[in-house]
Structure 1
Amino acid sequence: MKAVNQGQLLEKLEAEVERQLQETIKVFQNLTEEELLKPAANGGWSIAQCLAHLNSYGDYYLPRIKAGLESQRDVSTAETYKSSWLGVLFTRMMDPATGKKKYKSIKEHTPPTELDAYAVVGEFVRQQEALLAYLRLCQKTDLGSIQIPISVLKWLHLNLGDILQFLVAHNQRHMCQARKSVFASAGQ
């Protein structure tokens, strides 16, 4: 794992979160409840379920990111950032470009079939806006100095930089899944 410029990494993550947020606003917010709740043609999750799954991760990680940032207010910013091997592995597993294998969601992150679709989309927008705000705050901290337990193994901690990269890649993976449902329902 080579060191990267921390500012450039944060700009890249921020641009991807902004892209996901804009796609949600332009596409998913304009779908009917029926379209949001329609199961995928392959029997997979509906669009609302994809976003509810992501919301469950946001429910876990966003408060921990906020607390980590608040605890490090007086830490100087690092110029470079180096991911851990485990952080790289988890991020690559979730990244749509490198993680082609399908994974079964653990029970606590498996979305129900009965959902308030509009509330799910609204919560996802709120969470993406919060993530953007935290990414901007990260410009004033050292991404390697904050440790956060991962949601599936709370005894295992990754540094904030690895958590952010995983979270954005995981969101990207399920946004692709939701996008496929949109195209399938539109007959494309």
Structure 2
Amino acid sequence: MVFKTDELINELTTYVNSHIQYAEKLKGFNETELLKKKNEKSWSAIECLEHLNLYAQFYNKEIRKRIDNSKYFKSTVFKSGYLGNKSAVSMLPKKDMDTMNTFKSKNPIYSELDAATVLNKFIKLQKELVELLEKSKEIDLTKTKTAITLPLLKFRLGDTLRFVIYHNERHIQQAKKALK
């Protein structure tokens, strides 16, 4: 797929800003509501956000490093790679989403979590992601490559941004369901 770079960055920024607004809204809920689970194996709303925090710690650092060290300056278009596009699109929420397995290191289930700490960390990391999106406007999203959490694979920066933010959207939807 081919995207106009500015339009893609604007779309992704809109997603991230809505995620920040949602987390701010969650500050109005009590701890019991935020930690409530549908069943023993499901995640609470706070566990969904902690999962995203665990990924953001890796991806924000990786994205920042690649932007700061990129030799490739802005291009008006971003050409998605086959695997990167497939991975990003698979993260978009669908009506009947399949549950996906996650790495043990990124699974917050059974963790002792403080809702306020998780929310504040989430908001901080998402604001950092907004800054990275802004910086990425000056970089070629096709030629700049990033590592991903799967060893040996690299995605184009644009695909990594799409993957991370669509993954965030998926789990924001999951958090909303956990609160119903």
Normalised TM-score (structure 1): 0.90
Residue equivalent to 2:135: 137
**Superposed CA offset, 1:41-79 (max 9, x none):** 58410111000100011011000111111102x632101
Q: What is the percentage of aligned positions where both structures have the same residue?
A: 31
Shift in Å at residue 21 of structure 1? 0.8
| Partners of 1:83 and 1:162 within 8 A in 2 | yes
Distance 1:21 1:178 in 2: 13
- Which letter does structure 2 place at the counterpart of 1:103? M
Greater displacement, 124-133 / 91-100: 91-100
Indicate the SS of the match to 2:140.
Answer: coil
In 2, distance between residues paired with 1:56 and 1:10? 23
> What SS does the corresponding residue of 1:30 show, helix, strand or coil?
coil
Match of 1:108 in 2: 105
1:34 Cα deviation after fit: 1.1
Cα offset for 1:82? 0.8
1:120 equivalent in structure 2:
118
**Partner secondary structure for residue 73 of structure 2:** coil
CA distance in 2, matches of 1:134, 1:98: 30
Call closer, same or farther: CA 1:57–1:99 in 2, change over 3 Å. farther
Equivalent positions of 1:63-74 (< 5 A) are 63-72=61-70
Query: 1:88: Cα distance to partner?
Result: 1.2
Q: Which letter does structure 2 place at the counterpart of 1:61?
A: Y
Q: Is the 8 A contact 1:76 1:140 kept in 2?
A: yes
For residue 55 of structure 1, give the secondary structure of its aligned residue in structure 2. Answer: helix
Work out which of the residue numbers 31, 38, 63 in structure 2 matches 1:33: 31
CA drift of 1:119 comes to 0.5
Q: Quick one: which amino acid aligns to residue 61 of structure 2?
A: P
The more displaced of 140-149 and 48-57 is 140-149
Indicate conservation of the 8 Å contact 2:34/2:115, yes or no: yes
State the aligned residue count. Answer: 179
Residue of structure 1 equivalent to 2:159 = 162
Q: Is the 8 A contact 1:92 1:98 kept in 2?
A: no
Unaligned runs of 5+ in 1: none
Which amino acid in 1 is paired with 2:14?
Answer: A
* Matched residue type, 2:87: F
CA contact (8 A) 2:72 2:144 kept: no
Q: Which residue of 2 aligns with 1:9?
A: 8
Answer yes or no: is the 8 Å Cα contact 1:77–1:142 preserved in 2.
Answer: yes
Distance 2:41 2:24 in 1: 25
Provide runs of 4+ in structure 1 moved above 2 Å. 40-43, 97-101
What is the letter of the counterpart of residue 35 of structure 1?
E
Structure 2 partner of 1:94: 91
Quote the Cα distance in structure 1 between the aligned partners of 2:140 and 2:129. 17
The equivalent of 1:23 in structure 2 is 22
